Amino acid sequence: MKLTLIGGILLAVGLITPWYYYASGKYYSMSAFGGSFVDSLPNPAFFSPLTAYISLCFAVLSVFLPFISLKIPLRSRAKYAAGVSLLAGISALMNIVYIHFWLNRVNPDSPFMYYGSEASWGPTVGYFLTWVAAVLFFVSTYVSQGLSQEPMKS
Residues recorded for the chain: 154
Q: Is the dihedral of CA 134, 139, 142, 146 positive or negative?
A: negative
Residues 6+ apart with CB under 8 A from 131: 92, 96
Q: Is 150 within the bounds of a domain?
A: no
Structure confidence by residue, pLDDT tens digits, 29-53: 888 888 888 888 877 657 888 889 9
**Among candidate residues 28, 32, 36, the one with its CA nearest the CA of residue 49:** 32
In the chain, how many domains are there?
Answer: 1
CA–CA separation, 51 vs 32, rounded Å? 8
Q: Is 45 within the bounds of a domain?
A: yes
Q: Is 154 within the bounds of a domain?
A: no
Q: Is 116 within the bounds of a domain?
A: yes
Q: Is 33 within the bounds of a domain?
A: yes
Q: Is 126 within the bounds of a domain?
A: yes
CA–CA separation, 134 vs 93, rounded Å? 6
Q: Is 43 within the bounds of a domain?
A: yes
Q: In Å, what is the CA distance from 98 to each residue of 26, 33, 61, 103?
A: 22, 11, 22, 8
Structure confidence by residue, pLDDT tens digits, 134-146: 999 999 888 877 7
Q: Is the pLDDT of residue 153 over 90?
A: no
What is the domain range of residue 52?
Answer: 2-144
pLDDT bracket for residue 4 (50, 70, 90): confident
What one-character-per-residue DSSP string does 88-106 give? Answer: HHHHHHHHHHHHHHHHHHH
- Domain of residue 135, CATH code: 1.20.140.150
Average pLDDT, the chain: 81
Q: Is 152 within the bounds of a domain?
A: no
